[in-house]
Structure 1
């Protein structure tokens, strides 16, 4: 009986050691992930500031070249943004391995365009 209790105690100790190691590994991975997210957020912030600066410079340049009158830059229309979103989604589907027919129907684009996206993704089209 005492032998069985000893074996169970050793199993419990081994399980606790494994859980402790797993916890340490998970905490390390969490810390690494948090550092990566912070770096990405900083990059996005810098890109946003850079984009805003470019828009401001373009606005000043437009005013300077048109005799002091401010030229309003038009924003992309909703239709062109929707088209861009369709192609982004189509590219992601092509990268995930979907076939041209599925991509074309899911993204409302031509099958030839879908095949082109697949080829650009360096893989032969599937029929």
Structure 2
């Protein structure tokens, strides 16, 4: 019997079709899910003062406040705790770790977090549509 007469009976061809179908199924599902969930919030946004009353603007303000005040607070507490505990520790390697912890806490919590807040505030006020009217 000739394979060209009945192409459905060729097992190699059917396995190739199944491979192509399966290889396109996952990206297609991911794309459809992204279109379904990611475009909803984007289309719901508005420009100007109406944006300031949206849930997204409130979330941005809350995250902004958390970064602005939480970073220095947490960094300061860690740095202060490491400085206070340092004289009570006898082992040299532990002292070195505490000094490194103190330096990292000061660097990231007290210096970088406020700088990051200023940079994010600049971006929100000057780049985001409607951000200037909210006063981030």
- Compute the TM-score of the two structures, normalised by the length of structure 2: 0.33
Compare the two structures and name the one with the higher helix fraction: 2
Higher relative contact order (CA 8 A, sep 6+): 2
- Compute the TM-score of the two structures, normalised by the length of structure 1: 0.34
